[in-house]
Amino acid sequence: MKLEKLPEEFVQAQPVLEKISEHGFEAYFVGGSVRDVLLGREIHDVDIATSAYPEEIKDIFPYTIDVGIEHGTVLVLAGKSEAEHYEITTFRTESKYTDYRRPDHVDFVRDLREDLKRRDFTVNAFACDFEGQIIDLFDGLTDLKERRLTAVGSALERFNEDALRIMRAMRFASTLDFKIEEKTFSAMRERSHLLEKISVERIFIELDKLLLGSEWRNGLTLLIESEAWKYLPDFQDLALKKVLTELSVDFHFKNSEQAWAALLTRFSNIDVKAFLRKWKVSNEFSKYVADLVSAYELENWDLVSLYHFGLEKALLVDELKIAFGRDIDRERAVFINDQLQIHDKSEIVIAGKDLMDEFSLKPGPELGKILKTIEEQIVKNELKNEQIAILTEVKKMLELEK
């Protein structure tokens, strides 16, 4: 099969592939980009595989960077703009996954088939030459047509080698709207316990992509049915089922934070931050999600809560509430936000330093308390965010204390 029209990204990279072949080596587009072109989806990263060894690639191109030379990957800076660069990886095999997660070592090979054989699913194992000729050694085109994920070779062995592929299968089921071939699925079930050997960070990335996929319901359903959820830190299948049944059917998550918050609102007895610590996410992410979950518990926005969480979170939470069928006032968050004089304490027109000068105060708890009180009063619109008003109020406070 030949592509009728190469996508712009491939056309741009054509000279690179041609140059490699002028030197007597093979070079192909491989991986997700070929799959996505065939599906008519947007492509985001162009991977190139070649029979040339890394040193040979470096001899061909004047500007290269060793980005992962031990895995056979060289970054080639080619084309008109500096921004144009390609990851070119030597055909390779991976052997002996004794720890179920990373190959013990990779061997460079000259044969394309060997390279394609190590890839996870048939639709991820296409190669495409610079003229758009598709090389399909594992009948991936049929799977693509049937919108089906099938492991390359023995599914049981493939998940044994690398259990992350189980998560990847569910992720692609969500993002591509694919089903999973029967044997591949039963192997996923059988091998799901091996997920315990995979780092949570890598699982998180896949699960996160799953949640953001258009068919996240497919993905979560597979997570339940494969029983893989049992091997994810602190997961509760009941919560997953609730998300599936309680969220309105056509809902799509705006971002990761909202997706994880939605899940966590269905968990019972949950300490959001402790949960996310197990998933080793950043503190920033954890705090954001924890905020969304606690804001979800609020009945109505008021000045104080809106100031505390901010409009961005408020809107994400409102969207979730609506999607979970709660009857809320959709205009309220924006309305309340418009009434706020400040959205951050840095917007208060008077700073601690000004008060110290004006009232000969020293830095310390007393000053802190005064600033806090002023902030609160401004938020509640009990005090104008204006210099004279604030100074008058502080003066009153200090006199009262005497």
| Closest C-alpha to 70, from 32, 118, 102, 28 | 102
| 171 carries a ligand binding annotation | yes
Q: Which does 257 bind (CB under 5 to 8 A by kind): ligand ATP, Mg ion, none?
A: none
DSSP 3-state of 361:
coil
* Under rule CB under 5 A, residue 219 binds Mg ion: no
| 165 carries a ligand binding annotation | yes
DSSP 3-state of 360:
coil
Q: Which residue has the tokens 């019972």?
A: 268
DSSP state at residue 279: T
Half-sphere exposure of 5 (CA within 13 A, CB side): 3
Site size for ligand ATP (CB under 6 A): 11
Tokens matching residue 233: 């830190």
Q: Which does 223 bind (CB under 5 to 8 A by kind): Mg ion, ligand ATP, none?
A: none
Residue from 51, 90, 124, 226 in contact with ligand ATP (CB under 6 A): 124
| 162 carries a ligand binding annotation | yes
Between 32 and 54, CB nearer to Mg ion: 32
Q: H helices within 147-255, ranges in order?
A: 155-161, 164-176, 182-191, 200-212, 216-225, 237-246
Residue nearest to ligand ATP (CB): 32
| 119 carries a ligand binding annotation | yes
* Under rule CB under 6 A, residue 184 binds ligand ATP: no
Give the span between the Cα atoms of 308 and 156, in whole angstroms. 50
Residue from 27, 31, 132, 228 in contact with ligand ATP (CB under 6 A): 31
| 101 carries a ligand binding annotation | no
Between 119 and 242, CB nearer to ligand ATP: 119
| Closest C-alpha to 235, from 207, 275, 282 | 275
Between 120 and 181, CB nearer to ligand ATP: 120
Residues near 74 by beta carbon (within 8 Å), at least 6 away in sequence: 54, 57, 58, 64, 65, 66, 67, 87, 88, 89
Q: Which does 173 bind (CB under 5 to 8 A by kind): Mg ion, ligand ATP, none?
A: none
* Under rule CB under 6 A, residue 119 binds ligand ATP: yes
Q: Which residue has the tokens 């049944």?
A: 245
Question: 178: alpha, beta or left, given left = phi > 0 and alpha = psi -120 to 50?
Answer: beta
Pick the stretch among 83-91, 116-124, 238-246, 272-280 that binds ligand ATP (CB under 6 A).
Answer: 116-124
Residue from 58, 165, 242, 313 in contact with ligand ATP (CB under 6 A): 165
DSSP 3-state of 128:
strand
Q: Which of residues 43-62 bind ligand ATP (CB under 6 A)?
A: 45, 47
Q: At its nearest, how many Å lie between ligand ATP and the CB of residue 234?
A: 24
Pick the stretch among 160-168, 320-328, 345-353, 386-394 that binds ligand ATP (CB under 6 A).
Answer: 160-168
Give the span between the Cα atoms of 188 and 165, in whole angstroms. 9
**Residue 202 class from Cβ within 10 Å (0-12 exposed, 13-18 middle, 19+ buried)?**
middle
Q: Which of residues 16-55 bind Mg ion (CB under 5 A)?
A: 32, 45
Inter-residue contact 61 to 75 (CB < 8 Å) = no
Q: Which does 124 bind (CB under 5 to 8 A by kind): ligand ATP, Mg ion, none?
A: ligand ATP
Residue from 162, 208, 257, 318 in contact with ligand ATP (CB under 6 A): 162
Q: Which residues are registered as beta bridge partners of 127? A: 30, 135
Q: Which does 85 bind (CB under 5 to 8 A by kind): ligand ATP, Mg ion, none?
A: none
For residue 90, the tally of other CB atoms under 10 A from its CB is: 25
Residue from 10, 13, 27, 32 in contact with ligand ATP (CB under 6 A): 32
| 147 carries a ligand binding annotation | no
Give the span between the Cα atoms of 34 and 136, in whole angstroms. 11
| 41 carries a ligand binding annotation | no
Q: Which residue has the tokens 């992962």?
A: 68
Give the span between the Cα atoms of 150 and 120, in whole angstroms. 8
Between 54 and 103, CB nearer to ligand ATP: 103
- Which residues lie near ligand ATP (CB under 6 A)? 31-32, 45, 47, 119-120, 124-125, 162, 164-165
Annotated binding site: 32, 35, 45, 47, 119, 162, 165, 168, 171
- Which residues lie near Mg ion (CB under 5 A)? 32, 45
Annotated binding site for ATP: 32, 35, 119, 162, 165, 168, 171
